[in-house]
Structure 1
């Protein structure tokens, strides 16, 4: 008997690059059996084409997506895409229990007090995290998600201009959870810190469910900017020197201004992470974060992991979505970019959400 299989493509439209991963799921979809990564590819974007997680130059991004499909040889033009920046609001919400479809219908009424923009200017969703019973009866607990419609629309238009068809628009934070929090981690309380070029995503996950999401308008390119300014050099040279200097390593005294800048910018970022952990701990004293998982291209900065561990006093591990996947021969190059593949992999897993 032939086992039915499904292939799904997750597409990450980032600030510095577009990336896609094609995953094959066995009969029953994600979770029913071990999935296989068949293809992965990435194409660098010019500066300014995507700003703060939102497509600015549609034709440029569409061109990069066409190159991506040519390079990757993906079997489908149907994609799952993500959204995640400071124009996305994620907040706890508790409502009288009702079926999820009914809850989603009530969101426009709930959103009026939660949104800084008009309700019809936003896309709304509810992610259930649990339920309980209080003096008023059964209640549903979850995360209220609102994304400014324009943010989503611009990314969808870029896909369509490249001949792609977005099937699902997902929250990046949820995608990261699916890709990185599996097996034993799904039984614990963990924090994901994905540091991209200009946006850092923080997700606190307890028992496999996201409980807190925060987006920071800061990432690896901000560190590069600081090095370029300190040494009055180009972005390309600053990027090279940033990786050469790192954090907490020895360096040529002539590079001291750059090293100080790296430490300063990194400290600002890590303090924001620590503040988020502290907020969660105050609200959830029974389930403190036990470990941090780092992901994203910027986490490869030498010494950053140790710096985060020291500042937060938590164990820190590099997220590896590939450890939960079989990797076909057509995708072996993906092993070299493991820290950058979590988001497209998690978006592909969204077929089950």
Structure 2
């Protein structure tokens, strides 16, 4: 989890790209400068670094081209092998005793050997139970070798890692203002992967990474129509899900691409919506106190017109696109996670 260090650059590492953002915090989170670079296929696979040198080179070039970005970075990661558990303990005020209790309890809660894992935790709230007051603690564990590869790439690029965080936590910190007091919200980033987080206010209690996001849809269109990946991504954004295909005039020679793009988007939303719905049902079936009342969408999928509305129809709850202040010409959806990583605590008005 995050360390308290001011003026950091938030750095999101996604299977298809790296995104860096610096923010201002004058009462509301706003991006002051940002940069983005695509990754070659295979550099990141299933959310884990496979090509340390390749990632380091992309990061080195990105920061050399954008010297206004601080080289002290907080890194956001997301993959299916990172574990988040919320556990309950007796109320322990001494930090060292709490750390000992967390590690002892984690042996039964974390499905990986702790001697080969990086373990961190954050105390949440104190709740009343039949057994008396209990301290809730969010515990995060990740395989040490996976973390070491991320750090190696970042350091080889000449950057100074100040902390590693869950990308899901950054997402909640950046976008929690969309939730109403006491409301439970599912945040969904659709990018190289689909990353979701369930949170009440600023407290994230559940995360899941779903393989396949917007990039997978672009790959499908590219393979079907013989396009470059960049060209296919552009078609998905152009076609979208909002206006009828018949309204896309002036593209008679590309009607087959338009039809395929629309069909792939519709099928993709159905699949993503089903995975999100199953994840939320699993979370609530595990004893969650409150049902999810709304969804906030972020990631490059926000640029696809009608994606949020179509996802809302699949989930049967309101879905809105996450908003934040960004410089002209930049996409808020693409920058939200990186912006949230640049701060340690969510800003609460």
Instruction: State the TM-score, normalized to the length of structure 1.
Output: 0.84
CA distance in 1, matches of 2:170, 2:239: 32
Cα pair 2:269 2:311 within 8 Å, conserved: no
SS in 1 for 2:291: coil
Residues 169-248 of structure 1: pairs in structure 2 closer than 5 A? 169-182=164-177, 185=180, 187-197=182-192, 199-247=193-241
- Name the SS for the 1:167 alignment partner: strand
Q: Partners in 2 of 1:196 and 1:293 — Cα distance?
A: 14
1:30 aligns with: none
TM-aligned CA deviation for residue 137 of structure 1:
3.4
Gaps of 5+ in 2: 247-253
Q: Which residue of structure 2 lines up, in the alignment, with residue 91 of structure 1?
A: 85
- Give the stretch that moved more between structures: 67-76 or 277-286: 277-286
* Alignment match of 1:131 (pick from 126, 129, 133): 126
Partner of 1:44: 38
- SS of aligned partner of 2:344: helix
Q: For 1:286-301, what aligned pairs fall within 5 Å after superposition? A: 287-301=290-304
Q: Which of 254, 258, 270 is the matching residue for 2:256?
A: 254
When residues 136 and 277 of structure 1 are mapped into structure 2, their CA distance, relative to the original with a 3 A threshold, is closer
Shift in Å, 1:187: 4.5
Q: 1:56 to 1:129 in 2, by over 3 A?
A: same
Q: Distance in 2 between matches of 1:192 and 1:178?
A: 11
Answer yes or no: is 1:21 the counterpart of 2:24: no
Aligned equivalents of 1:316 and 1:120: distance in 2? 41
Q: Deviations over 1:232-288 (max 9, x none)?
A: 544344323333433364167634455433332331111011122333445567632
- Give the corresponding residue for 2:73: 79
Query: How many residues matched?
Result: 333
Shift of 1:351: 6.7
Aligned CA-pair RMSD: 2.7
Confirm or deny that 1:270 pairs with 2:273: yes
- Change in 2 beyond 3 A, CA 1:179/1:36: closer
Q: Secondary structure of 2:23's match?
A: strand
Residue by residue, what CA displacement relative to the aligned partner does 1:21-43 show, whole Å, maximum 9, x if unpaired? 122457xxxxxx44553321112
| Alpha-carbon distance in 2 for matches of 1:230, 1:194 | 25
Q: Secondary structure at the match of 1:350?
A: coil
C-alpha distance in 2 between matches for 1:318 and 1:258: 21
Structure 1 residues not aligned, in runs of 5+: 27-32
Alpha-carbon contact 1:227-1:262 (below 8 Å) kept: no
Deviation of the 1:345 alpha carbon: 0.8
Distance 1:130 1:117 in 2: 26
Instruction: Write the distance in 1 (CA, Å) between the matches of 2:99 and 2:78.
Output: 20
